[in-house]
Amino acid sequence: MPRYKLTIAYDGTDFCGWQRQVTGQGPDEPDASEAGPGELRTVQGVLRRVVARVVREPVVVKGASRTDAGVHARGQVAAFTCSGDAAEGTGWPSERGTERLARAINGKLPPDVCVVGVEDVTRPPGVDAFDPVGDCTSKAYSYTIHALETGEGSLGVRPVFDRRSVTLVWERLDVEAMNRAARHLVGEHDFVAFAAAGHGRLTTVRTILSCAVTDLGEREGGRRVRLDVAGTGFLYNMVRIIAGTLVEVGRGRTRAEGVPAIIAGRERAAAGPTLGPEGLCLEWVRY
């Protein structure tokens, strides 16, 4: 049975996150590109319906990262298995090709989600199937901030055209200090201070492979600042709390040299606030 790996981009603003959420009873409608009866509008739910329509059979679409409501992605990864019997008129036999599959899916998806790559990851019998979660070795997120001046002479101009993908901060940020703080996060640490309550993980030890803050320059009346962080795995809200902590450093409210003490103290209250979802984007997942 063919198995396909999808790389997906989406604007998360109008989605209730990645994971399908069923709220009540209702008939399944595999030809619907929006949320079906009894479920919220999620990326997984929409994708599952569209893929089922294309391959003409029910499918399970499993994703690599359960992004929250409002969070975006450029490189989310998901996979599904279908039948490959062309004579039955269902499934998607490997010989049809992945480009045709991508076009068929994208032709039915809504404008805020798109499949940007398809790979045939079918494995021989007896070999475990490709798992978007279990086979993942690392992933990366970005967090984009629009820092506005509020002093004398400032008009308080806010971004308009990309407002759905940036978080507003109403003061200048010290990017150099933020970068000094970010370097303290690299390596294997217990990141419980950077995890939301109820994270549900047996261990809060994670490895950050890289963490850096870049000044992207002036744009739409403010200064654009971007955090890029890559790791072997992340806790619930971890990147948004890291971003909030680095913003506090940029504001001068927290010392960059104080980050190791925050990690060692293991207290959520010592880290910064959880910033909003709109600035967060899943950039890539590697295997």
Catalytic residues: 68
8 Å CB contact between 43 and 16: no
Distances (CA, A) of 201 to 48, 228, 235, 277: 27, 23, 8, 21
Q: Which helix (H) or strand (E) holds 55?
A: helix 43-55
For residue 173, what are its two tokens? 């940020």
For residue 5, what are its two tokens? 């790996």
Q: Which of 160, 175, 147, 140 is nearest to 275 (CA)?
A: 147
Owner of token pair 């640490």: 189
Distances (CA, A) of 2 to 5, 93, 100, 130: 10, 7, 15, 11
Environment class of residue 112 by beta-carbon count within 10 Å: exposed (0-12), middle (13-18) or buried (19+)? middle
